[in-house]
Amino acid sequence: MLNRVTMTENTSFGFPFAVNESGRINATGGDEAIRGKIIQVLFTAPGERVNLPEFGCGLFNLVFEPNDAILAAAMEFTVGQALSRWLGDDILVDGVNVNSSDETITIEIAYTKKQDISKQAVRIHFR
């Protein structure tokens, strides 16, 4: 017996990809789907995907650099460019703000969903 996933225009596979108790693939939509796509772009290193080697932003490569203003500026640029390139059909990146203090880096991404022109934000902490 085949389990089918009915996907609408506003639905995508859940992130991380998972199968629920009934054996069906988890699907998400709306804000959750956009957040999942943002995380996929940020946490995928270029070259990691065989069929799309340019996908991602190499964020983890920057995390091991010295934690200073230069790193913050590089991260803001890299994240902003990657999100605009890979999610440009879904969101408009309003701004990327990187704060670094001691061993912690916080990335805050402000964006506008193109579907309903609502403003959202995602915040990620690295320690």
Convert 13-82 into a string of H (helix), E (strand) and C (coil): ECCCCCECCCCCECEEEHHHHHHHHHHHHHHCCCCCCCCCCCCCCCHHHHHCCCCCHHHHHHHHHHHHHH
pTM of the model: 0.73
Beta-carbon neighbour count of residue 105 at 10 Å? 20
What are the Cα distances from residue 64, in Å, to 68, 70, 83, 105, 111? 11, 13, 21, 11, 26
| Stretch (H or E) spanning 101 | strand 91-101
Phi, psi at 33, each rounded to 5°: -65, -40
Amino acid at 24: R
pLDDT (0 to 100) of residue 101 = 77
Amino acid 4: pLDDT: 41
Low-confidence ranges of the chain (pLDDT < 50): 1-11, 28
Q: In this predicted structure, what is the pLDDT of residue 23?
A: 63
As a CATH number, domain 11-126 is 3.10.450.40
